[in-house]
Amino acid sequence: MTDSVDLTREEWAAKLVARFTTSTLAVPAVATWTVAEGGAGPQWGTDNVASYNPLNTSWRTSTSRTVNADGVQAYASWQEGLDATAATLGIDVAEGAPTGYPAIRTAIEAGAGCADLATAVAVSRWGTGDFSHLCPAILIDQPEPAPAPQPTTLGALIAMATLSLVDAQCYVRYLYRVTFHREVDPLGFAVWPVELANGTKSPDDVLAALNDSTEGQACIAAERKALGLT
């Protein structure tokens, strides 16, 4: 039986990180790792067929099925995929869980940033390789450089066919300011620009996701009330 509600990359990453630590610091890095792996295609709209398996693990269960020559599995639910991924990484979810990924586990437990987790994954047997090129080029805890010139209207931004990572970062900052009236948070800054730059999400997709979020709906309601429309 499949889950009735899909998880976002951030939600799935948070659930996996919670298997290691109560800290959420590594969630953005794990979410970026899922972009590099490209799994869970049926749920996240890519051509990958490893259902509910964002990191393309090959841990077999009684209900999973093999989808390629590397033994990558498709699962029946998010829970099954999470349990299998945690087991592969060596968490005490399934008996006989392997212990071949200590560097990845340590990085997550330590709240690693994207580049540090990418290094841990690259030197492991996981197979993703180095995904540091997907990590945000501008770190949240460093002084922000002067912004690139912005199109004069939101419509001009939306009309942009492709975005470089730097352009995507500027665009996401802009969207958070006009939609939420605040600066972008570390999680949003780690995930949305990468998905824009690699084409997983379009500018329209990101804008719609922000507007449809709980915070976005609250901001819209507040603005309508201030304008006397409610």
The domain boundary, picked from 82, 101, 134, lies at 134
Tokens representing residue 52 in the block: 């509910």
Weakest-pLDDT range from 6-15, 52-61, 119-128, 217-226: 217-226
Tell me the pLDDT tens digit for each residue of 100-144. 688 888 889 888 888 889 888 888 888 888 888 888 753 344 445
Q: Do 220 and 186 share a domain, yes or no?
A: yes
Stretch among 56-70, 79-93, 138-152, 184-198 having the lowest mean pLDDT: 138-152
Report how far apart, in Å, the C-alpha atoms of 36 and of each of 51, 54, 145, 210 are. 16, 9, 26, 23
CA dihedral 160, 113, 75, 84 (to 10 degrees): 180
Res. 52 pLDDT band, cuts 50 70 90? very high
More confident residue, 34 or 153: 34
Same domain, 76 and 178: no
For residues 181-193, give the mean pLDDT: 86
pLDDT the model gives residue 94: 42
* Nearest-5° Cα angle at 103, 99 to 105: 70
Answer yes or no: is pLDDT of 48 > 80: yes
For the stretch 7-42, pLDDT in tens is: 889 899 999 999 988 988 889 999 999 999 999 889
Predicted pLDDT at 12: 95
Number of domains in the chain: 2
End-of-domain residue from the set 100, 134, 168: 134
Answer yes or no: is pLDDT of 149 > 60: no
Residue with the larger pLDDT of the pair 94 and 106: 106
Q: Is residue 114 in some structural domain? A: yes
- Whether 148 is in a domain gets the answer no
Indicate whether 141 belongs to any domain: no
Judgement on whether residues 32 and 102 belong to the same structural domain of the protein: yes
Q: Provide the pLDDT for residue 163.
A: 63
More confident residue, 106 or 151: 106
Predicted local distance difference test score (pLDDT) of residue 138: 39
Domain check: are 69 and 125 in the same one? yes
Do 29 and 20 meet the contact criterion of CB atoms below 8 Å apart? no
Residues 125/149, Cβ–Cβ less than 8 Å: no
Q: Which of 73-77, 103-107, 190-194, 220-224 has the lowest mean pLDDT?
A: 220-224
Residue 101 located in a structural domain: yes
Please give the angle made by the CA atoms of 19, 79 and 42, to the nearest 5 degrees: 120
Q: How many CA atoms lie within 13 A of 174 on its CB side?
A: 22
Q: Which domain covers residue 60, as residue numbers?
A: 9-134
Has residue 88 got a pLDDT over 60? yes
Q: Is residue 142 part of a domain?
A: no
Same domain, 163 and 199: yes
In a domain, 149, yes or no: no
